[in-house]
Amino acid sequence: MSRDISGYIKNSVFATPSKTPSASSPPHLCSFVMDIDEAETSAGEEGAPTFDRAVDPPPIRRLDEAVVNRIAAGEVIQRPASAVKELVENSLDAGSTSVSVVIKDGGLKLIQVSDNGHGIRFEDLPILCERHTTSKLSAYEDLQTIKSMGFRGEALASMTYVGHVTVTTITEGQLHGYRVSYRDGVMEHEAKPCAAVKGTQIMVENLFYNMVARRKTLQNSNDDYPKIVDLISRFAIHNIFVSFSCRKHGANRADVHTASTSSRLDAIRTVYGISVARDLMEITVSDDSPARSIFKMDGFISNSNYIAKKTTMILFINDRLVECTALKRAIEVVYAATLPKASKPFIYMSINLPSEHVDVNIHPTKREVSLLNQENLIDTIQNAIESKLMNSNTTRTFQTQAISCSVASQFSARKEAENNISTSGTKSQKVPVHKMVRTDSRDPFGRLHAYWQSEPNSQQEKKTDLASVRNAIRSRRNPKELADLSSIHELLSEIDCNSHSGLLDIVKDCTYIGLADEVFALLQHNTHLYLVNVVNISKELMYQQVIRRFAHFNAIQLSEPAPLQDLLMMALKEEDLESPTNENDDLKQKIAEMNTELLKKKAEMLEEYFCINIDQQGNLTRLPVILDQHTPDMDRLPEFLLSLANDVDWENEKECFETVSAVLGNFYALHPPILPNPSGSGIQFYKKNMDKTTSVENVENRLANSGEVDVDHELLAEAETAWAQREWIIQHVLFPSMRLFLKPPKSMAQDGSFVQVASLEKLYKIFERC
């Protein structure tokens, strides 16, 4: 069904991301990891002993130094791109302002990196390519404050064990330079004087000439040149004062070519093109709380116009090009949940933190680092990106109002809470253990999702905020117009009178903990835990909001008009699934026609009061914004239209408004997505060519074993996105709005919408007895 209507909503504001964060392709540099195993295999092939199943233990031998070095080299230089990375980093460490790279045969035949840095002293040339010789580190402690990218003194040495290395270099004030070639860590001959331009040129030829397996795999796999271009592009947009070029040997044109500039955006434009640079927003975040994390981040992130199938994440931590899968995933989740388009982000991010908070020595190629308080840092960055995206989502046809207020008040309240925390030490009022409640989401213990709950002493301000939000909403209405529609006043006051005061207290002051299952969410209010039915409360909230916003809606514009007739047919067929034959189709056509006519007749009223626009041709073109930041699940559009035609009382004004509002409320409510939840038994739905009765374990086993089950990945990704988005909306849109606006009707106290599941005092008593 989601397929069928996608035609109408293609490119519309509703289009959902087709892939989930988890379905993203592996990060660019990740492929480096694969080769570590190969390094071991190939070393085995080339001389490491193989053991029989002998009874006596085999003797332990000391490996030849040459073998040791070659094994180590295979780890540091995993593929041509990793050699290029090491060479460029050396050039940058040498203070170069110009670095040019030439590549032949994807780097297997030739890698040549030339720079204009400080060069290498003549007297250092004999030990230049020995293992563990470096000019960047002398004592282990230096690692704590190291600013250079290199420090292991292994890269050049490694290259000489797996390739032929020639170095040409000249230092400041010399009349000529020197050229020397290396093999297995040592000079092949005395350094020869030669003409040279400022700096150093390093050539690596015939990489992996002595590692048959490695060379074969690299020859068979796609060649490394695109990876090298990508690598130089990344360096180029971070090191904007350095000019870079990268070209294939013999080619006239460079594939990356940048000049030194003072503008990062210019550099991005030059490297990634105008279409990327146009859709970027600058972002800066910092944190200086020793308890959480100390860092400063600045970067550029894509906005909602940017479209790409793959995430581009360019991350520098203290000027090192690194990867951080956790941060990447966290950002992808925010994008999937916040933006309506099916796009992966483009992220350039430079994070700086005190060097003593970064451990740079956790990976032989230095492509990973480990950070102090990494979780908090990721959390802060994730929040910053989220609010940046929310505030900049300009292409959507509606503007945020009420929710932006609530979000703003959350943020100001968060600030307040921070202040409170810093002063709370002075006025510590002891709370009995059994009365302690979860009030601060930054305390990671016992929370399901990060969520902020205001401190009790900020209640007063919270109430004023609430009042001002309500006033703002009221003032948006034209009182004169409303005065004429007494039925709306009646409905409004019915909502107020019918409100259950106990539930209202819970709603106003609860902390959202997380989703318990597909329908219920867990809330905490004082010392009690409640399960609330998300579908019921969202339905009610939407209904109340329709009444409150009556005749004053912002619009959601559909990118393509949706024909009522077809949608109604779809809904009628869906209702009548038991009879798969087409025998009643004529009848259904008639019903659909009549309903279309009815809705066309009511179009003027629907447009004026509810912002439901139906054009002359019988197409739906606009829908109302009921809760800012929230759009209804378009899979339910056919059902909504059928219900609009059939379930509305068109005779009496008050009942008419009430029933249209209820139908809208049901459409906008947060029902579970139509595609089954892929985590758990829902996975069955996504397998192709399989008997639908096969057990879940069976599918999972077969999936794990060989990918034997053919899964519809596109559909699966669509489902994962839909479920992730719903969860995000529940936490970030539904619950904050519910606190502000929902007046829970008395019926909710009995109908299972709110169920108390635990009371801390009672639990405490039980534990005391244990």
Write out the residues near ligand ADP by the rule CB under 6 A: 86, 90-91, 94, 115, 117-120, 128, 134-136, 150-157, 200
373 lines the binding site for Mg ion (CB under 5 A): no
Give the nearer residue to Mg ion in terms of CB position, either 157 or 337.
157
CB of 136 to Mg ion, least distance (A): 8
User: Taking CB positions, which residue lies at the least distance from ligand ADP?
Assistant: 150
Give the nearer residue to ligand ADP in terms of CB position, either 112 or 731.
112
Q: Number of helices and strands (H, E) in the chain?
A: 26, 25
Q: What share of the chain is helix, strand, coil (3-state, %, to 5)?
A: 50, 15, 35
> What residue type is assigned to position 113 of the chain?
V
CB of 519 to Mg ion, least distance (A): 57
Q: Are 722 and 728 in contact (CB under 8 A)?
A: no
What are the beta bridge partners of residue 99?
Answer: 115, 244
Binding partner at 135 among Mg ion, ligand ADP, none, C-beta below 5 to 8 Å by kind: ligand ADP
Which of 74, 106, 119, 150 forms a contact with Mg ion (CB under 5 A)?
150
Listed in sequence order, the residues at least 6 apart from 549 whose beta carbon sits closer than 8 Å to its beta carbon are: 473, 624, 626
What is the spatial distance between Cα 302 and Cα 335, in angstroms, rounded to a whole number?
Answer: 10
CB of 150 to ligand ADP, least distance (A): 2
CB of 148 to Mg ion, least distance (A): 8
What is the spatial distance between Cα 32 and Cα 37, in angstroms, rounded to a whole number?
Answer: 10
Give the nearer residue to Mg ion in terms of CB position, either 90 or 524.
90
Distances (CA, A) of 558 to 258, 555, 611, 614: 42, 9, 12, 11
Which residue carries 């040279």 as its tokens?
196
CB of 76 to ligand ADP, least distance (A): 9
Alpha-carbon Rg for the chain, nearest whole angstrom, is 32
Task: Indicate the SS3 state at residue 636.
Answer: helix
Give the nearer residue to ligand ADP in terms of CB position, either 90 or 304.
90
Give the nearer residue to Mg ion in terms of CB position, either 182 or 520.
182
Distances (CA, A) of 561 to 64, 427, 541, 593, 663: 75, 61, 28, 17, 21
Instruction: List phi, psi (to 5°) of 416.
Output: -55, -45
SS (H, E, C) 269-311: HHHHCHHHHHCEEEEEEEEEECCCEEEEEEEEEECCCCCCCCC
90 lines the binding site for Mg ion (CB under 5 A): yes
Give the helix/strand (H/E) hosting 560: strand 555-563
Q: Which span (85-93, 299-307, 450-458, 580-588) binds Mg ion, by CB under 5 A?
A: 85-93
Give the nearer residue to ligand ADP in terms of CB position, either 141 or 496.
141
User: Could you say which DSSP state residue 538 is in?
Assistant: H
How many residues line the site for Mg ion (CB under 5 A)? 3
Listed in sequence order, the residues at least 6 apart from 200 whose beta carbon sits closer than 8 Å to its beta carbon are: 90, 91, 94, 114, 115, 117, 119, 120, 167, 168, 169, 170
CB of 90 to Mg ion, least distance (A): 4
Give the nearer residue to ligand ADP in terms of CB position, either 128 or 699.
128
What is the spatial distance between Cα 472 and Cα 401, in angstroms, rounded to a whole number?
Answer: 9
Binding partner at 200 among Mg ion, ligand ADP, none, C-beta below 5 to 8 Å by kind: ligand ADP
117 lines the binding site for Mg ion (CB under 5 A): no
Q: Which span (68-76, 154-162, 447-455, 487-495) binds Mg ion, by CB under 5 A?
A: 154-162
Give the nearer residue to ligand ADP in terms of CB position, either 128 or 719.
128
Tokens linked to 722: 């839909």
User: Taking CB positions, which residue lies at the least distance from Mg ion?
Assistant: 150
User: Could you say which DSSP state residue 745 is in?
Assistant: B
Binding partner at 441 among Mg ion, ligand ADP, none, C-beta below 5 to 8 Å by kind: none
Give the nearer residue to ligand ADP in terms of CB position, either 79 or 264.
79
Which of 84, 94, 99, 155 forms a contact with Mg ion (CB under 5 A)?
155
CB of 398 to Mg ion, least distance (A): 53
169 lines the binding site for Mg ion (CB under 5 A): no
- The closest alpha carbon to 362, from 353, 374, 370, belongs to 370
Q: Which span (42-50, 104-112, 153-161, 194-202) binds Mg ion, by CB under 5 A?
A: 153-161
Binding partner at 540 among ligand ADP, Mg ion, none, C-beta below 5 to 8 Å by kind: none
Give the nearer residue to ligand ADP in terms of CB position, either 99 or 664.
99
Instruction: Tell me how many degrees the CA angle 374-376-380 measures, rounded to the nearest 5.
Output: 115
Give the nearer residue to Mg ion in terms of CB position, either 135 or 174.
135
Q: Which span (146-154, 328-336, 397-405, 465-473) binds Mg ion, by CB under 5 A?
A: 146-154
Binding partner at 31 among Mg ion, ligand ADP, none, C-beta below 5 to 8 Å by kind: none
- The closest alpha carbon to 165, from 205, 193, 108, belongs to 205
Which residue carries 């290199």 as its tokens?
150
CB of 30 to Mg ion, least distance (A): 22
> What residue type is assigned to position 344 of the chain?
K
CB of 123 to ligand ADP, least distance (A): 12
**Max alpha carbon distance in the chain (Å)?**
102
Region of 362 on the Ramachandran plot (φ > 0 left; ψ -120 to 50 alpha; else beta): alpha
Give the nearer residue to ligand ADP in terms of CB position, either 90 or 441.
90
Give the nearer residue to ligand ADP in terms of CB position, either 117 or 678.
117
- The closest alpha carbon to 760, from 531, 510, 524, 528, belongs to 528
Tokens linked to 292: 């959480």
CB of 678 to ligand ADP, least distance (A): 46
Binding partner at 271 among Mg ion, ligand ADP, none, C-beta below 5 to 8 Å by kind: none
CB of 146 to ligand ADP, least distance (A): 10
Alpha carbon dihedral 427, 431, 436, 440, in 10-degree steps, equals 0
CB of 409 to ligand ADP, least distance (A): 51
Binding partner at 264 among Mg ion, ligand ADP, none, C-beta below 5 to 8 Å by kind: none
CB of 206 to ligand ADP, least distance (A): 19
Give the nearer residue to ligand ADP in terms of CB position, either 157 or 599.
157
Task: Indicate the SS3 state at residue 457.
Answer: helix
Binding partner at 367 among Mg ion, ligand ADP, none, C-beta below 5 to 8 Å by kind: none
CB of 330 to ligand ADP, least distance (A): 31
Binding partner at 91 among ligand ADP, Mg ion, none, C-beta below 5 to 8 Å by kind: ligand ADP
* Binding footprint of Mg ion on the chain (CB under 5 A): 90, 150, 155
